[in-house]
Amino acid sequence: MGYRKVVNNYYCDVNNLCEILTRLVNSYRLLIGGAADLNSIALARRKQVKDALERVDEVGNMIDEIVCVLEQTNCTYLNYCRLKSKIIRCKLQAQNIQQEIQEDLECKD
């Protein structure tokens, strides 16, 4: 059962990365909108717009890094799921499933 715990922890890590990615993408979109707003304001200085765009680039780089990590981890987790389903398919027998269904039906009567 130790492997199951490792994979569950791994899944939690991947899930956390997805949540961080979602937040960063939302921030990225807001930063782009803010930079566009600054650019359209006549009183905004060019340096302010440039600084805003640099922040957008920084968040964009973080997003790229997380996407790269997720691409690498996806393969491992998907391989685990494929392997697990193959093993379950090999171990399942129709008689056992029919027996479980029959027991469930008998309990409900």
Compute the distance between CA of residue 63 and CA of residue 19 in angstroms, rounded to an integer.
12
pLDDT for 81 equals 77
- Which residue ranges in the chain fall short of pLDDT 70? 1-3, 92, 108-109
In the block, which residue shows the tokens 């993408």?
25
Domains in the chain: how many in total? 1
How far apart are alpha carbons 6 and 76 in whole angstroms?
12
Domain interval for residue 58: 2-108
H or E element that contains 93: none
Average pLDDT, whole number, for the chain? 83
pTM of the predicted model as reported, rounded to 2 decimal places: 0.59
